Amino acid sequence: MQKTNELKSRINILAYYQIVGGAVGIIFLVWMIATTFPIQGLNILLYLFMAVFFGFSIYSGWLLVEKRIEIGLTLSKINQILQIFGVAFGGFAYEYVAGIALMPGIDLEDGANITFNFSLSKFELYFNSSKDFARVEFNLVAIYLVYFISKLQASIAIRKRLDV
């Protein structure tokens, strides 16, 4: 019984982390839209894309709250996998965080510099940008959460086999 309560507690922590991370991202997005009037061209599409990513985080957490554990954990794992890497090269850049990020990386803009960044929910996506940069970052929090979710899924699978 204690193991079951511990498992439920861990799932709830993950659920609310996903929901809060996505909600903070949506709040930042609304603030960004409010401060960049008028919105032009492809920015509308980019903002919609950002809202989908943050909404996906909220939805993943909500499934866990609603006790739809298997699909909730699967979508939560996908959401975290999307957050593992931040890359920028030439005119392209991608970085997605819904929650907290601790990101060691390598910045190759002025030589090879080791970096370590902390970030809250954010989404960066550039195509054919005039920015000239090259960097790779790894989100340690997302890496841990993928591991954590995998362990939760394994625990649930074992419990199912024992109950049958």
Residue 40 pLDDT: 77
pLDDT of residue 110: 79
Q: How confident is the model at residue 125 (pLDDT cuts 50, 70, 90)?
A: confident
pLDDT of residue 112: 86
pLDDT over 90 (residue 20): yes
* 75-95: burial string, b at 16+ Cβ within 10 Å, e else: bbbebbebbbbbebeeeebeb
Mean pLDDT value of segment 117-131: 83
Which domain does 100 fall in, by range?
2-163
pLDDT tens digits, 52-76: 999 999 999 999 999 999 999 999 9
Into how many domains does the chain fold? 1
